[in-house]
């Protein structure tokens, strides 16, 4: 867990130098240690030396697709644990869901206000710090380990994405309780997270499919939301 005096390091990857410098100034004013990269190649070089806690990544880079870069950074031993927050003009539900399922810890669409940006980054970093406290939920033959993002049901290991695990963990925290879509987003990802009801429905559908027969325990409560019912 980060110490109280830890100064978080943020790597801003933005191809527009003016926008990038403005973002750097905003984050420095908030007390972060910040570096700027304007290309994918520069981002990889800075990441190796800077070892950021969080990477603020614009998907529209001139030399590499931002999603591809994010996946490469996640595979790199130096940056595998770095949080990745995407900045993109793409606001389609499917783009957001695919990003969250594959490589992103948060997704902020452009244009954005500086206060919104800093609030969201604080929320992501705070969520990461909280999750460093090992928390295991055991329900009947279900076991969810937040420290490893692992799910076991009847001794069978289920592989979920970070986004899927967060949603299932939220439902499992209080089984049989009905959660609205808004509550699921707020509890799993933080207040103001940019995901629509449709995107939540898509994620729930993916989780059910991966759980196989156990997917039936995630119940849809018409007009209210979802619940995990193991009774």
Could you tell me the pTM of the whole model? 0.59
Q: Which residues have CB under 8 Å from 109's CB, separation 6+? A: 87, 88, 89, 90, 91, 194
pLDDT of residue 41: 94
Q: Using CA atoms, how far apart are residues 105 and 19, in angstroms rounded to an integer? A: 22
C-beta separation of 20 from 49 below 8 A: no
* Span 170-212, pLDDT tens digits: 999 888 899 999 888 888 776 666 677 888 999 999 999 999 9
pLDDT of residue 1: 39
C-beta separation of 196 from 186 below 8 A: no
- Rounded to an integer, the average pLDDT of 7-34 is 94
- Rounded to an integer, the average pLDDT of 209-220 is 95
pLDDT of residue 103: 74
* Span 57-105, pLDDT tens digits: 988 899 998 888 988 888 887 888 889 998 877 666 555 566 666 677 8
The dihedral over CA atoms of 215, 219, 224, 225, expressed in degrees to the nearest 10, equals: -10
C-beta separation of 169 from 189 below 8 A: no
């Amino acid at each position: 867990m980060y110490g109280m005096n830890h100064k978080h390091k943020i790597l801003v990857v933005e191809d527009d130098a003016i926008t990038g410098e403005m973002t750097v100034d905003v984050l420095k004013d908030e007390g972060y240690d910040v570096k700027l990269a304007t290309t994918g190649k520069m981002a990889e070089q800075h990441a190796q030396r800077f070892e950021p806690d969080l990477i603020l990544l614009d998907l529209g880079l001139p030399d590499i697709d931002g999603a591809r870069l994010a996946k490469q950074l996640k595979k790199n031993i130096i940056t595998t644990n770095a949080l990745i927050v995407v900045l993109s003009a793409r606001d389609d539900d499917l783009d957001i869901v695919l990003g969250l399922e594959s490589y992103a810890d948060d997704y902020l669409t452009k244009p954005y206000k500086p206060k919104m940006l800093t609030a969201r980054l604080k929320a992501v970093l705070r969520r990461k710090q909280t999750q460093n406290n090992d928390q295991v939920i055991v329900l009947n033959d279900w076991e969810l380990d937040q420290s490893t993002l692992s799910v076991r049901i009847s001794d069978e290991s289920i592989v979920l994405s970070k986004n899927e695990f967060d949603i299932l963990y939220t439902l499992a925290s209080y089984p049989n309780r009905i959660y609205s879509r808004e509550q699921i987003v707020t509890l799993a990802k933080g207040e103001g997270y940019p995901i629509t009801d449709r995107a939540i429905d898509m994620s729930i559908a993916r989780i059910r499919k991966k759980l196989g027969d156990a997917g039936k325990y995630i119940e849809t409560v018409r007009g209210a939301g979802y619940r995990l019912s193991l009774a």
